[in-house]
A and B are shown apart, each in its own frame.
Chain A
Amino acid sequence: MAITEEPPLELEAGDPLPEYAEQPLGVLTRPSGNTGIASWLFTVDHKRIGIMYGVFAMFFFLIGGLEALAIRIQLAVPGNDFLSAETYNQVFTTHGVTMIFLVIMPLAAAFANYLIPLQIGARDVAFPRMNALSLWVWFFGGLFLCSSVIIGGWWENAPDGGWFNYAPNHGVAFSPSKGIDFYAIGLQITGIGSLVSAVNLIVTCLNMRAKGMTLFRMPVLTWMLLITQFLLLFAVPVITVALFFLMFDRLYDANFFNPDAGSDPLLWQHLFWIFGHPEVYILILPSFGIISEVIPVFSRKPIFGYKVMVFSGIAIGFMGWGVWAHHMFVSGLGPISVTAFSMSTMLIAVPTGVKIFNWLATMLGGRLKFNTAMLFAVGVVSMFTIGGLSGVTHAVAPADTQQTDTYYIVAHFHYVIFGGALLGIFAGFYFWWPKAFGYKLNERWGKWNFWLQIVGFNLTFGPMHILGLQGMSRRIDTYSEGFGFELWNLVASVGAFVIFLGVLIFVINIFVSQRQAKHLPPVGPDPWDARGLEWMTASPTPEHNFDEEIEVQQVDEFWFRKYDIDDDGTVHRIATGDEVAQPGTATGVHLPAPSYWPMVLAAGLPFIGYGLIYNLWLCVLGGLLVAAGSFGWVFEPADDPDAHHGGHDDHGDHDDDPDTDPEAAAALDAPEGADDVAIESEEAPVG
């Protein structure tokens, strides 16, 4: 497969790549080098892309978190006027949108990008440049969304319709600022990023696996991420339709959601939630995957019921499509729809419960080491359960008529998203940090991080259950005295600051640990005595991932190369991780070359967005960037043709002058790999 064995070039993997020759375009040279800012901006390396997803998402997390703090300050006491109603509505809308689309989704994408190729033993994803494109499209889309806070006045022009932005309140008549245009266009842009990345990762999972890595030997995390990508693949177009309708309504006076023309506002709700419910599983499944990797390692046991874990994930992904109207129980659907959706929603508790029990069974009888990663993982098991159980109470449709749009719902989804998705992602941070950066995060700080976060989290969102049941509506910029809301709101506000402190400690921990690591021995490839293929190479992961292709024979291949199980069930070490792992020092590995074009292409999109909102000339500029990006892209071989390496010249296409049209240029270099690392092989042709 994608692994090079023979060193065709005298090149150390760790060394900077050689200067690239001028490209056929004649104007621009190909980006080169693997240090410095440029090497990050133009990289197509899935690991760097993964890290950038993470860094950018943390930046947005800070924004979304500060917005959350503003909400909590406003609601700390009744009748507060820290934020005006106008600002408040924008703040909670951008908080929701930022957290969902710019924090949790990309954090999951960070893990997907970094880990999928490693876990299946591949060199890179199927289409490395498309991977870079997804990152930049998403990131520029995110900046575009956030820019609405500044453009046209500080907090005057941000979306203000709530994250699900119901019709017809999202129309120009009711929301005359440009905010909702930003919402409609920004989410389309980030949606393109998600879609491209979904296609890419699906192909990667299905097609780039190492020898012997059958689907049912893939780690649970890879499985969950694969399911997530399928959900994205099919869910993104649905919201795209809704957003197009909205955009046409707002910009060109179409009549999709205009009740005065007899349109049905519920169309938006259906489309939004057909996307939106799969979306919530898009948020949670990656974390389910992460803790399925962490818990076995720190229990010293294999995951309990591997196949059941996989199938329950598939079941969740599948059933997630049939429940969307549980967000619409009070919208005025007929009784049959409400009953059907109520029942289908309840069923989802079953596969999710199966997962919970399997994690517990994995821990049962194990040797549990509660370091920070494990604490976060176990935190997910208990905290997510709270959120899931409140979800079940919403699924009871008559009861939901009392609960919906109150803080009880706010409590539910923060428990599943913060207590499930986000805690899981933190578990992942602590777990894979040494793999990505070559040093472990400090445990003392880590424990402070965990405990502050979990205590703050329960202080913040626990009381919201009570508030909701006491009848406090959500999305209210203030509340009156006398309804019994004062105490718990204050508690929640205090809790939010505790969370802030917790996350801050995480950030500090990064720097503290980095500094301490200088005085510590290197972590080695396998600091946790772990199980997946990603630990079978040096830490931090070398640019080429693996020195040679790994042939996989079972689930947890790496572990079984270290340990043997006797007939009586005792475990024997046969090798250390260091011995089994590849040194990561292979030379001459041919890698896809960096490229400017994904970035250029992606940069065009926000301009088109601004153009649609403000001035069509900007669209022209954006269109030109997109065109330049795509033409540059197809002119440019995915691979650097000048980085010749033996054994490939016999394809003999190089004498053609590749300066003509895109198809030809790409096609002629296709044998070099096109955008496809699968054909990167130096092995003998398959025959």
Chain B
Amino acid sequence: MVDSEVLDEQAVEAADASHSAKVGDHQPGSTGISNQKLAMWAFLGSECLLFGGLISGYLLYRNNNQDGPAAAEIFDIPFTSVSSFVLLMSSLTMVLALSAITRGDHPRTRLWILTTALLGAVFIGGQVYEFTSFYREGLGYTTSPFSSAFFTLTGFHGVHVSMGIVMLMSLYFSSVRGKLKTENAETVEIVGLYWHFVDVVWIFIFTVVYLMAKGI
């Protein structure tokens, strides 16, 4: 995972390098926007092309299951619905964390950050479970173009979520040690942007990959 690791490194970088929100200190660039946030959004724009490619690969091969199980046969919609719901709610807790830190409410900030990370971890746990049960049912990584594309797409997403958890936990620990101050709200915001983006990608995947498997 050379790539995603470093890409996320970059996200971390953008996030940590955030600067104070204290009015007066604030030195916006020519556009009045913070460099870090701009960088994060540029990066997210670029990620659209990355996930777009992975999703297209999946769409191309979704019905090509060779002798292995087909999508509609193997997906466990109730299970995935629950984990999708979990991930969706983690977006709420993420935004609540941001809201708390802008108010200067640090205990809440920590609570919500930790909840977000936990929800993310539950999602990852669900994915691990899902992968193993698919594997037991005969859908290995090399079984068919469908399986390769499916695991690659959802795996990439899972790696993104995991990187997000790492970032959240760093935020959490710095907050525990009192390093995450109200001025650093932008750091939380930037990690949040990344987190929501990953959630948004899942909204797409859940609909197009899972729910539509029945129809197309």
Contact = CB atoms under 8 A, between A and B. Distances in A.
* Complex: A in contact with B (CB within 8 Å): yes
Interface of A: 1, 126-127, 129-130, 137, 185, 188-189, 191-192, 195-196, 198-200, 202-203, 206-209, 213, 233-238, 240-242, 244-245, 248-249, 252-256, 258, 261-264, 267, 271, 601, 605, 608-609, 612, 623, 626, 630, 633-634, 638, 651, 656, 660-668, 670-671, 673-676, 678-679, 681, 685-687
A618 B46 CA distance: 30
Contacts of B46: 195, 198-199, 233-234, 236-237
Interface string B159-180: 0000000000011011001111
Given A261-B144, A685-B25, A206 B39 contact: no
Given A256-B149, A261-B144, A670 B61 contact: no
Interface string B76-106: 0000000000000000000000000000000
B64 A630 contact: no
B19 A679 contact: yes
Nearest to B155: A248
A676 B173 CA distance: 24
B2 A207 contact: no
A608 B19 contact: no
B13 A675 contact: yes
Q: Is chain B's interface secondary structure helix, strand, loop, or mixed overall? A: helix
Interface string B11-45: 01101111110001111111101011011001101
B152 A664 contact: no
Contact of B49 (A234, A244, A254): A234
B10 A663 contact: no
B107 interface: no
B12 A605 contact: no
B73 interface: no
A641 B14 CA distance: 19
Contacts of A196: 6, 10
B10 A130 contact: yes
Contacts of A203: 29, 35, 38-39, 42
B60 A663 contact: no
B53 A664 contact: no
Interface of B: 2-3, 5-7, 9-10, 12-13, 15-20, 24-31, 33, 35-36, 38-39, 42-43, 45-47, 49-50, 53-54, 57, 60-61, 64, 66, 141-145, 147-149, 152, 156, 170-171, 173-174, 177-181, 183-184, 187
B171 A676 contact: no
Contacts of A665: 179
Q: Is chain A's interface secondary structure helix, strand, loop, or mixed overall? A: helix
Given A242-B53, A261-B66, A626-B6, A660 B177 contact: yes
Most chain A C-beta atoms within 10 Å of own C-beta, residue among B10, B35, B156, B187: B35
Contacts of B170: 661-663
A262 B66 contact: yes
Contacts of B187: 663, 667
Most chain B C-beta atoms within 10 Å of own C-beta, residue among A199, A264, A663: A663
Contact of A664 (B6, B38, B142, B179): B179
Contact of A233 (B6, B30, B45, B179): B45
Contact of A241 (B5, B33, B54, B143): B54
Nearest to B167: A663
B15 A663 contact: yes
Most chain A C-beta atoms within 10 Å of own C-beta, residue among B46, B143, B174: B46
Contact of B13 (A127, A255, A263): A127
B174 A678 contact: no
6 contacts: A207-B29, A233-B42, A237-B50, A267-B57, A664-B178, A674-B17
Given A662-B170, A674-B17, A667 B38 contact: no
A686 B22 CA distance: 11
A450 to B, nearest CB: 38
B26 A686 contact: yes
A202 B38 CA distance: 9
B153 to A, nearest CB: 10
A298 to B, nearest CB: 31
Given A651-B25, A661-B174, A676-B19, A199 B35 contact: no
A72 B143 CA distance: 45
Contacts of B66: 261-262
A1 B148 contact: no
